[in-house]
Amino acid sequence: MRYARRQGIATTFFVVFASVWIYTRNYVFPAILIRSTLLETLWYADLHGIKVEPHYTIFNALLLLLELLHIYWTYLILKIVAKNLAGTELRDIREGEAESDDDD
């Protein structure tokens, strides 16, 4: 939408994207999925006599790493929101590369 010069629609899409991202990646993912894999897995494994190591540790470490990445990406999204609210012109870094290629 941005390239079609429909800034209002692009802003609306970005607000929806940022809202959904923050809710699902920073609330739903850790509160439901990670909590479930850290706590409920041990209970069910114990109930059924299943050995969980080393899979339990590896899987949960990867999920926690993914959550750290979600936090970092959320930080980047919030930086874009702050720049937009401050009135700073947002530009795609790829646009600079395309413009420099055209100048040659």
What the block records as the tokens of 104 is: 């040659």
33-66 pLDDT, tens per residue? 999 998 898 898 888 888 988 989 999 999 999 9
What sign has the CA pseudo-torsion 89, 90, 95, 96?
positive
**Residues 9, 89: Cα–Cα separation, whole Å:** 16
Give me the mean pLDDT over the 61-72 stretch: 96
Q: Which of 28-32, 77-81, 96-100 has the highest mean pLDDT?
A: 28-32
In this structure, are residues 72 and 26 in contact, taking their beta carbons and an 8 Å threshold? no
